[in-house]
Chain A
Amino acid sequence: MSTPELQPQTSAMSMYRAIVGIGAMCALVIVVVFQSTAARIRDNQERFLAAAISDVLPVTEETIAVGIGENGQLQKTTASLPLPVFLAYGSNGDLVGAVLTAEGMGYQDNIRVLYAYSFEKRAIVGFKILDSKETPGLGDRVEIEPHFIANFEALDARLNTSGDALNNAIVTVKQGEKTDPWQIDGITGATITSEALGNMLNDSANGWLPILERDAISIDREATP
């Protein structure tokens, strides 16, 4: 009876050498590519954000980034915030609105959105998804479905009489059941995504709009932060 031919065993040292060596080479390649593309990616992100701001609030001529200072007041900032907020000024230098970033969990992954708030209309008047990995053909319909996009032509976001929260919570309702201007008409087949967007807008607006309504007008856009 013949015995199967045994292949010589590779020593553990050779395997460690190969795995560690290749791992180190791969790390070097990634670092080199990251370093050489970082500046260009940052430029692209800034350009993309500027274009998105123009999309959600077309009257914008100039924006300034704002944040909340240690005293809880709104102030101009140069810091790169994870969810940046901008005050938008029109061609004659008037404050025309605010553009805010919000983030929340969708069906598959985090969704990041940009929305515009009009101080004049007391409403959300523009909306754009910046980053989403929702299911193609289902969840991603929130970006293209005309009736869903129409929700953000004037989504009521007025504050209560004390000015510390929204008068009516922004909620997503089932498709075709919208009755009030602060409701978002959802999408059948993209229920979780449309509800997630409603929740993240409500949370973000509840947190930011009272501060913006209180302080935005007093911000000096020429001042050095």
Chain B
Amino acid sequence: MASKEVTSTDEFVKGLWRDNPVFVQVLGMCPALAVSNTAMNALAMGLATTFVLLMSGLSVSLLRGFIPREARIVCYICIIATFVTSVDYLIMALSLELHRALGAFIALIVVNCLILGRAEAFASKNKPGRALLDGLGMGVGFTVALLFIGVVREILGSGSIFGFAVFPDSFQTWTVMVLPSGGFFAMALWLLIVNRIKKKEAETEKAEATA
């Protein structure tokens, strides 16, 4: 039996839903919980991580014939750290306020297991085009997941979205949602919703297969 061919679209789409890095693989939890206290911070961290995923995936894929198996981790970390340093400078050039808001977490992208994981599991075994699509899919999936968490936390914790008030001044904000513990509450809420939808999908597929 011929195996189903993986198309370019599949490479991109898998990161958005089926293998979403946050809601399915549960990778990169440190920034996902710590920097998602506002929608803007979540978006900025997601985009910074996407940039590093794309560039490191492309570099690892291009250099996959040059990097010996025994020295691969040190080479991957070196490549990832380079793009994290670059993104750090780029954010500082873009906005110092944003750089302040993201604090130490920009530098910590280096140790985000999602990036090393994609370099090791995918980019080092695939051509640059596919590595880029995989990185883009995972990056967008990570950004969207952070944004989902960030929007919930900002609405409840600050009564606003992207700084724009959505509730009257009389709204009593839930301060806990902007604190680190709020990240766990919002994450749990989204995991509940995503897992419920996935369970329904699996049941439908099973029913169709039986029929």
Binding site for B on A (CB under 8 A): 7, 10, 14-15, 18-19, 21-23, 26, 29-30, 33-34, 37, 40-41, 44-45, 48, 109, 131, 133, 136-137
Contacts and interface: CB of A to CB of B under 8 A. Distances in A.
Interface of B: 34, 37, 63, 66-71, 74-75, 78-79, 81-83, 85-86, 89-90, 92-93, 95-97, 100, 103-104, 178-181
Contact of B68 (A14, A37, A44, A137): A14
A19 B75 CA distance: 6
A166 to B, nearest CB: 30
Contacts of A48: 96-97
B79 A26 contact: yes
Nearest to A140: B103
Given A10-B69, A18-B68, A21-B66, A45 B78 contact: no
Contacts of B90: 33, 37
What are the nearest 10 A-B pairs in CB distance? A26-B82, A40-B93, A137-B179, A37-B93, A10-B68, A33-B86, A37-B89, A48-B96, A15-B71, A41-B92
Nearest to A109: B104
B5 to A, nearest CB: 30
A23 B81 CA distance: 11
A29 B178 CA distance: 36
Contact of B63 (A15, A22, A133, A136): A22
Nearest to A29: B82
A136 B178 CA distance: 9
Contacts of B95: 44
A10 B93 contact: no
Given A10-B69, A44-B92, A30 B75 contact: no
A22 B73 CA distance: 12
A145 B66 CA distance: 54
Contacts of A45: 96
Contacts of A37: 89-90, 92-93
A33 B93 CA distance: 10
Given A10-B68, A10-B69, A37-B89, A30 B82 contact: yes
Contacts of A23: 78
20 contacts: A10-B70, A10-B71, A15-B68, A18-B68, A18-B71, A19-B74, A23-B78, A26-B78, A26-B81, A26-B82, A34-B89, A40-B93, A41-B89, A44-B92, A44-B96, A45-B96, A48-B96, A48-B97, A136-B34, A137-B178
Nearest to A28: B82
Nearest to B35: A136
Nearest to B92: A41
B71 A19 contact: yes
Contacts of A15: 68, 70-71
Contacts of B37: 136
Contact of A41 (B34, B67, B93): B93
A26 to B, nearest CB: 4
A21 B85 CA distance: 18
B180 A137 contact: yes
A10 B90 CA distance: 37
Given A33-B86, A41-B92, A48-B97, A22 B78 contact: yes
A22 B100 CA distance: 31
B35 to A, nearest CB: 9
Contacts of A26: 78-79, 81-82
A7 B179 CA distance: 50
A133 B86 contact: no
Nearest to A8: B69
Contacts of A44: 92-93, 95-96
A30 B81 CA distance: 10
A33 B75 contact: no
